[in-house]
Amino acid sequence: MPSRDAATVETSLARIAREVASVIDRLVADPGDLDRVLDVLTGADRVFVLGAGRSGLALRMTAMRLMHLGLDVHVVGDTTTPAIRAGDALLTASGSGTTSGIVRAAETATHVGAKIAAITTAPDSPLGRAADALVVVPAAAKLDRSGAASTQYAGGLFEQAVVLVGDAIFDALWHRSGLSADDLWPRHANLE
C-alpha cells in the first residue's frame, strides 16, 4: 500500500491523468468499432442507454448529450422508458461484460432485432459477443485489484473512459450533424 504521507490530491490527479491519457492513446491507435457506434446510433429509430452503478451514471451523461442532438433517447429503468423493438439501438457499458441485468437486456434487444453498441474491457464476454459495435477499453475491470492495468480503485479508469468515450461519440455526431451550439440549446433542460 502506498504511503499515506505521499498521498496528495495533486499526485492523484497527475497519476489519474496519466492513466486516462494512456487509455485514450490506445483507443485512438486501435479504435475498433468506435465509428461503427456512430452508425448504430444514427441509424436507430430510438436509442436506449443502460449501465449499472458508476458506468450507468456515466452513460446517463451520454444519453443527455444524444438527446441534445435530437435523438430519441431513453434511459433503461426510468418509468417512462418504452419497450425496445427492431430498428432501435441499445448503448451499454459493463467493464466485465457479465453484469446480469445488462446481459439480459442485450439478449432482449437481440431477440427483438435491435442493434447493440457496447463499451467493455472484455471483448469475449457475453456482452462483447452480443454487440454489433464494440468499444474495448484497455482498463482494469471492477474486480481487478492487481494494480497492473490501473492503480485506481474498482474500475475507476473504466468509468472515466466511459465518460470520455461518450463525450467523444457525442462530439463526433455533433460535428457530423452540422448543427451549431445554438441549434442544440433549445433542447437543454429548462426545469432546473
pLDDT in tens, 68-89: 999 999 999 999 999 999 999 9
pLDDT band at 153 (very low <50, low <70, confident <90, very high): confident
The verdict on whether 107 is a catalytic residue reads no
Percentage of the chain lying above the pLDDT 70 cut: 94
Q: How far apart, in whole angstroms, are the C-alpha atoms of residue 93 and residue 101?
A: 11
The CATH class that applies to domain 34-177 reads alpha beta
Residue extents of the structural domains in the chain:
34-177
Quick one: which H or E segment has residue 45?
none
Mean pLDDT of the chain: 93
Q: How far apart, in whole angstroms, are the C-alpha atoms of residue 151 and residue 163?
A: 19
Q: Which of 10, 19, 159, 192 is catalytic?
A: 159
